[in-house]
Amino acid sequence: MNKQSNAYAIIYIIVLVVVVGTALALTSMSLKDRQQENANVDKMKQILASASIETEGLSGEQVVSLFDEHIPAADMYIVNSEGERVDGNAFDVSIEKQSKIKDVAERELPVFQCQKADTTLYILPVYGAGLWGPIWGYVAVEADGSTVYGAYFSHQGETPGLGAEIEKPAFSREFKGKRLFKNDHFYPIEVVKAGKGVDNPDGPDYVDGVSGGTITSQGVGAMLDNCLAPYQTFLSTLKK
């Protein structure tokens, strides 16, 4: 075949595309399990971070071992809006999908029951929208079903130095000690403009939002409202 012909060029391109495409597909398939393992380890780190359990510098295997120590498989379960356990594994639930179901009675609500020293914590996932993309996190609630022990938040593409500050400890530390129940009434924690919050013994606790990250801060508040409110019956049973 004439190498200078159009037919040769077209065939050459087709063969090249097929070879490269096949190689990429095989590479992706061979790495799929490892990618999933890495994603699972990252999720474990985030869950543990909400309970102030340090994972810095640990290998993937060490993170998995630490996670199993504090949150064994039997303590990862799903509840419904009535606080009743249902079939399934909390780790496998897509909180992104569940957070978008408007009827909370249809949601699967993951619970990660964490043992830390002599304390039992209940870690609840949250998912919402920031300014530029999704935001998510985990809130650890103490055994009384009301007091927040710790929190972790992250994002996909919030503005560095502004909305992205929600992933910094300075923001998540504000949630420690906040209460979800007052006088037997459930209140998701509010995120308000810095310096504008007013303590209210009969209303929701609040934290200061990120300076310059108003929309992201509002997104965190809406996320907590949407994702924590369905747990109120479950939390109230702990409280009792």
Q: For residue range 185-195, what is the model confidence (pLDDT) as tens digits?
A: 999 999 998 87
In three-state secondary structure terms, 46 is: helix
Q: Which residue has the tokens 């504090």?
A: 70
Residue 33: what pLDDT?
Answer: 67
Cα gap 233→171, rounded to integer Å: 27
Cα gap 98→106, rounded to integer Å: 9
Last residue of a domain, one of 44, 69, 94: 69
What the block records as the tokens of 200 is 């209210």
- Rounded to 5 degrees, what are φ and ψ at 7? -60, -40
> Considering its fold, how many domains does the chain have in total?
2
101 and 179 together in one domain? yes
99 and 24 together in one domain? no
108 and 196 together in one domain? yes
Residue 47: what pLDDT?
Answer: 98
Residue 201: what pLDDT?
Answer: 81
117 and 26 together in one domain? no
105 and 205 together in one domain? yes
42 and 103 together in one domain? no
Residue 32: what pLDDT?
Answer: 63
Burial grade of 175 (CB within 10 A; 0-12, 13-18, 19 or more): buried
Cα gap 190→75, rounded to integer Å: 29
Last residue of a domain, one of 48, 69, 90: 69
Residue 53: what pLDDT?
Answer: 96
151 and 54 together in one domain? no
219 and 153 together in one domain? yes
54 and 141 together in one domain? no
- Pairing relation of β-strands 134-141 and 119-129? antiparallel
57 and 136 together in one domain? no
Task: List the domain range (segments joined by +) for residue 11.
Answer: 1-69
Contact 50, 138 (CB under 8 A): yes
Q: What parts of the chain have a pLDDT lower than 70?
A: 1-9, 12, 25-33, 240
Closest C-alpha among 150, 221, 216 to residue 187: 221
Last residue of a domain, one of 46, 69, 92: 69
